[in-house]
Structure formats: C-alpha cells, structure tokens
Amino acid sequence: MTQVLAARTADAALRARAGSVIPGGMYGHMNVAGMPDAFPQFFTAGEGSRLWDADGNEYIDFMCGWGPVVLGRKDPAVEAAVRAQLDTGDLLDGPSPVMVDLAELLVEVVPHADWAMLAKNGTDATTACVTIARASTGRRKILIATGGYHGAIPWCTPRAGGVLPEDRAHLGYFEYNDVASLEAAVAEAGNDLAGIIIAPVRQELARDQEMATVEFARAIRTICDRTGAVMILDDVRCGFRLDLGGSWEPLGVQPDLAAWSKAIANGYSLAAITGRDSLRQGATGIYITGSFWYSAVSMAASIATLTQLRDTDALARMADAGRRLRDGLAIQAAAHGFAVRQTGPVQMPLMRFADDTADSTLARIWTNEAVKRGVYLHPVHNWFVSAAHTPEDVDQALERTDDAFAELSRLVG
C-alpha cells in the first residue's frame, strides 16, 4: 500500500508556532519530539475509531486519546447527555444534582464502593487515595512497585526534575508480582505502613506488560488486612475497560480504595475515588478540591458512558477487537520472519519485537510505517481498543500493518 499521508505543512507550521510560546514546543506524554518522523503532533478531529491530523490525514486510532475514549469518539449517547447538560449548566456555584446521580451509579457498579468522590485527572485520584490512606490510619509509609506509574506530581512522577527527596521520604518500593519483595518492604515500613498502591497490570514504557498473578494480588489483600494498611488499586489506566467493577474483580480481589479516570467519561475530563465505609471518615476529613472538579458536563458524560458499559456488549466488543488485532499481528509477524511478544490485556495490547534494540529500533520503524499507512500505534506504550473498533476496522488496519511489516523487512534486510 502506498503512502497515504498528505504533506505535513499545517503540522509543521503549528510546531513552529508552539515552539515560540510553549516550553519545548510541547510537554508531557503527548509530546512527539522523540517519536519517529511520521507521527503528527497536532490533530483536529475524531469520530468513532478514526482520527484526523492537522493536515487532514485519517488514521485508524489504537491509542484512543491514550485511553480515555472507550466507546469511540462522538458516541451519540454520550454527546446527547453532554448537550442536555450544557443546556442546563456546567460550572455553577455548587454541584449539579448529576454529581449525586453519578456517585450513586459508581456505588452501584463497583462492588467494593460504599462511596465515591470526583475529581479531574488520574493524578488527582491517586493522590487523594494516598492522602485518605494516611488520614485514616495515622501512618506515613506508602509502598509502590518499582517503576510503577501513578501520575505526574512530585510524589510519583517518573522524572526527577524539581522533585525533592522530602517529596518521597515516606515511600517504599517492591518488585511487581514478587511476594517476597513485597513482604520485605512491608517489614521495613513496620507499624508506619499506611497503604500499598498498585496498578492492575505492570505497564512500563519499552518493556513487556505483566499481568498480576492471583497469588500476588491476594498477597497484597492479605497483607493489608493483617497490618491495617489500606489497599489502593490504581485503576486509572485499566478501569472500566477490562471489567466494569474493577480490573481485579476477575481475580476475586477487591481494594479498599480505587482511583479511576481515563475511560470513565469517554474522553471528557473526570476522575473518581471509590472506597469502603471504613475509610469514609478519613475521606471526609481531608481537603481536596479544584475549580473544575464539579463540572456537570463531564459527570453527565460519565453516566452515559458507564450506563452503556453496564447495559450493552461494549466490553465484549472491545475484547473481541483486541483479540482480532493480536491474532492478525501474530500471523503477519511470523509470515515476515519476525519474532514478537504480545502482552497485556487484549483491550490494551502491546507488541514488541523479540530481537529489538534497547531503544526499540524495530518497533519504531514498524509503527512509523504503520502511521504512514494510516494506522496510529505507539512503539513503546501500550495501545487501547475501543468499542467503536469494528471487525472491519481491525481488518483494514491489519491490511496496512502487513504492508508495514513488509517495509520493515525490506529496510532491515
């Protein structure tokens, strides 16, 4: 398949303008400065499973806004709920009744939840969970898996610029899926252990995803019960995509607190904290807030999103699309002579080349060729599948990724 991209004149002009008024030209996880050359920086539209960049190039999108889009962009039911709420009001001088409606829905669909609080970003939610754990226990130490990502704020950001040792003075670390390492960190924290925060899946850049074992998940639950520490599930990335009630529900493990965001409102900015009754007083006593945390529009979008996830086959469609994509890529890789590893949940897949370099050279070339052909994938971060990805979408994407494999084979000889 020949290259489908239009000339990048609009994107180049926007990058030049951004370089004058935005530090570094762009920042954060959506900065493509270090990405292969075919990746656009700016996008102008999205619908369903499709995305258009500033030059009008169309992509079958397997990043879904880096996770928030779970039903597909411009989902009719979500957009109708947004318009109806906009007609009434968004930011008022107090929350809209929709806040209570959403909290009730979260308590209904999340088995461990006796209450819910709402915020804006995943970092808001994880930080609130840590704060509630400390307030509820009167202890200081929080344990985190080495390399685990829980947000972009000094206590947890993966980049050390501007971070003081004091910001992390009461954090302890253990290895994911390693019960002995976890027990050692618990012993070191001693009677000052406030909580353990853990992601449902180990998802670090440029490495295979690692599903939690039942033994490991249950060990965290047992340790928290034994010590009186708070078990915090950081379900920001996985939540509402793998299981409506929480990503460790299939393992039979429920947390005391959970942090949610990304897929909670199909792309509208919202986060949530859910917790058990035993932590209600601690949650009541802390002070967290934000000028935009009470946006009624995002809450209306969330109700429409969660209702569809509950009442339709959206979760099953995502899993089917993810399996179809994964199976197709496995066949293609083998046909072109490449050994690959596909890891993580099928709804959040990642493919890595077995013989790749430390800086993921093969993955970068292959995803660059896929992007040139209108399939938006990431070389080192996990991808996302939405309920809008039809079998036809996946098959069309696979036609193009097959061409990307062929080009990779030609380029690397």
pLDDT tens digits, one per residue of 229-249:
999 999 999 999 999 999 999
Closest CA to 300 of 127, 124, 91, 93: 91
Which of 250, 216, 249 lies closest to 113 in space, CA to CA?
249
Residue 167's pLDDT is 96
pLDDT at 169 over 60: yes
Q: What is the DSSP letter of 141?
A: E
The interaxial angle of helices 314-335 and 296-311, nearest 10 deg, is: 80
CA 354 to chain centre: 25
Q: Is it the case that residue 201 has pLDDT exceeding 70?
A: yes
Q: What is the pLDDT of residue 193?
A: 98
Predicted local confidence at residue 413, as pLDDT: 78
Asked if residues 129 and 232 have their Cβ atoms less than 8 Å apart, the reply is yes
What six digits make up the tokens of 12?
């180049």
Q: What is the pLDDT of residues 100-111, one digit of tens each?
A: 999 999 999 999
At residue 4 the predicted structure's pLDDT band, cuts being 50, 70 and 90, is: low
Distance of alpha carbon 395 from alpha carbon 374, whole angstroms: 13
Provide the pLDDT confidence category of residue 206 given band limits of 50, 70 and 90. confident
Beta bridge partners of 258: 233, 274
* Phi and psi, residue 32, nearest 5°: -95, 15
Mean predicted confidence (pLDDT) in 58-77? 98
Give 351's strand partners: 342
pLDDT at 90 over 80: yes
In angstroms, the CA 326 to CA 323 distance is 5
The pLDDT, as a whole number, for residue 7 is 84
CA pair distance 304, 105, nearest whole angstrom: 11
In the sheet that 43-47 helps form, which strands lie side by side, from edge to edge?
43-47, 50-53, 58-61, 375-376
- Ordered domains of the chain (ranges, CATH): 9-66+313-412 (3.90.1150.10), 76-311 (3.40.640.10)
90: which 2 tokens?
A: 């968004």
> Measured between alpha carbons, how far is 211 from 247 in angstroms, rounded to an integer?
11
Residue 1 pLDDT exceeds 50? no
Q: With bands split at pLDDT 50, 70 and 90, how would you rate the model's confidence at 9? A: very high
What pLDDT sits at residue 106? Answer: 98
Instruction: Read off the pLDDT of each residue in 109-134 and give the average, rounded to a whole number.
Output: 98
d(CA 165, CA 187): 22
End-to-end CA distance of the chain: 19
| Mean pLDDT of the 72-85 span | 98
Average pLDDT score over residue span 188-212: 96
276-315 pLDDT tens trace: 999 999 999 999 999 999 999 999 999 999 999 999 999 9
| Burial label, 163 (beta-carbon count in 10 A; 0-12, 13-18, 19+) | middle
**What's the average model confidence in pLDDT over 183-196?**
98
Does residue 2 have a pLDDT over 60? no
Q: Tell me, yes or no, if the pTM score tops 0.85.
A: yes
> Does position 3 have pLDDT exceeding 80, yes or no?
no
